[in-house]
Copies of this chain bind each other. A is one copy, B any other.
Amino acid sequence: MTQRIPVVENILNANDRLAEENRARLDSAGVFAINLMASPGAGKTSMIEQTLPRLKDRLRIAAVDGDIATSIDADRAAAAGALASVQINTGGECHLDAVMLQGALNQLDLTQFDLLIVENVGNLVCPASFKLGTHKSILVASVPEGDDKPYKYPGMYRGVDALIINKIDLLPYIPFKMDYFQRGVEALNPGVITFPISCRTGEGLDAWIDWLLQNVKR
């Protein structure tokens, strides 16, 4: 299987170059972009549904939603107040890449937005390897996934700029040791900013919204 490595490296180099082009387009239009990554069902779309109503009077927001199939997520983003939402169906691919985001950017008049939220495919592995050109990478972890995930998926935890711990409302019902989880995070990504949140109850969302606003306005 060693023959595969050069092919993969070439694809990643090409992807990185295109990610830089995406970033330049976003910057020249004044758009701040985040890449939301997570396991399937950790709550990426719920985060978008909670974030948009809190910001839509202050920022012009577009959403790009990557999925293997369906437009469920883009529909939910539009319903929550995104001025524009673009669905990328990856056709079986397990992650977004810079080419796919380029295709989505082509469908948007970037000068009309302040914030672009990109929702990646639900996957704790592959999305970490493909830069998109966004400014910040955000991981949405969730309590029911278990407290061992930083140890088992180090690539994802190592590379992100912020960590959301969603579904904290389920902590009473699940054996999840927050200390053990956070020690794993700290070893991989020292000092990473962390937001314990419940999309269901709204707990913890204010700190996340403040952080996002501060970053957009920089």
Write the nearest CB–CB distance from A123 to chain B, whole angstroms: 6
Interface footprint category on A: 35 or more
Q: Which of A82-134 contact B (CB under 8 A)?
A: 92, 94, 99, 121-126, 129
Q: Which of A143-177 contact B (CB under 8 A)?
A: 144-146, 148-149, 151-155, 167, 169-170, 173-174
Q: Which of A172-218 contact B (CB under 8 A)?
A: 173-174
Residues of B within 8 A of A16 (CB): none
Any B CB within 8 A of the CB of A70: yes
A145 with B41: CB separation less than 8 A = yes
Interface centre among A1, A129, A153 (most CB of B within 10 A): A153
Any B CB within 8 A of the CB of A58: no
Instruction: Determine how many copies of this chain the complex contains.
Output: 2
B1 with A69: CB separation less than 8 A = no
Residues of B within 8 A of A72 (CB): 148, 151-152
Contact of A152 among B69, B124, B167 (CB under 8 A): B69
Contact of A153 among B40, B146, B152, B174 (CB under 8 A): B40
Write the nearest CB–CB distance from A85 to chain B, whole angstroms: 16
A1 with B99: CB separation less than 8 A = yes
Write the nearest CB–CB distance from A156 to chain B, whole angstroms: 9
Any B CB within 8 A of the CB of A11: yes
Ranked 10 nearest A-B pairs via Cβ: A41-B145, A144-B144, A94-B125, A41-B146, A39-B40, A40-B124, A70-B151, A94-B126, A39-B39, A69-B154
Chain A interface residues (CB < 8 Å from chain B):
1, 4, 7, 11, 39-41, 67-70, 72-73, 92, 94, 99, 121-126, 129, 142, 144-146, 148-149, 151-155, 167, 169-170, 173-174
